[in-house]
Structure 1
Amino acid sequence: PPVDVGPSYHPHGVLMGFAVGMAAGVMFGTFSCIRVGMSDREQMEGVGKMMMQSGGMFGTFMSIGMDICCRDHLYGTYL
């Protein structure tokens, strides 16, 4: 019989992963731009690009992990 999965928490996982990824992107982007020796405008573009890339990547992996975790918990199929 089908199992009632209830409310979906995936948007929360994506947003939380995106926020954590953006925070990591600020740190890594700033350090890499300073190390290379970019100008102020190039630093702003580089840090923004790094924030979006790392936020998107971490948000994607966080949502996949949350989906696997929720399905295991709901259906009782622990890996």
Structure 2
Amino acid sequence: MPVAVGPYGQAQPGCFDRVKMGFMMGFAVGMAAGAMFGTFSCLRIGMRGRELMGGVGKTMMQSGGTFGTFMSIGMGIRC
């Protein structure tokens, strides 16, 4: 199967590369959203210091993983 070539001679990214890029973009956006919402919710319930950092980090990882998964599924559907 021939590789699709772009307008300037470079090869287009494959399906796996697109899914991987979608996951990374979604993970970054999810981490940013998790930082904002996690900080607000942890401060609201009274966390401080190391407990605050752990809570915010956990929220960032969960939110990044969830949003990254959905973005990679969306990119996979587009392939």
- SS for the counterpart of 2:14 is coil
Q: 1:54 & 1:7 partners in 2: Cα distance? A: 27
Q: 1:56 & 1:29 partners in 2: Cα distance? A: 14
Segments of structure 1 that go 5 or more residues without pairing to the other structure are 71-79
After TM superposition, the runs of 4+ consecutive aligned structure 1 residues lying more than 3 A away are none
Query: What RMSD in Å do the two structures reach over aligned CA positions?
Result: 1.8
Q: Report the equivalent of 2:23.
A: 14
Segments of structure 2 that go 5 or more residues without pairing to the other structure are 5-12
Q: 1:43 & 1:25 partners in 2: Cα distance? A: 13
Q: CA deviation at 1:69?
A: 2.0
Q: Report the equivalent of 1:76.
A: none
Instruction: Tell me the percent identity.
Output: 66
Give the TM-score taking structure 2 as reference length: 0.78
Q: Report the equivalent of 2:72.
A: 63
How many pairs are equivalent? 68
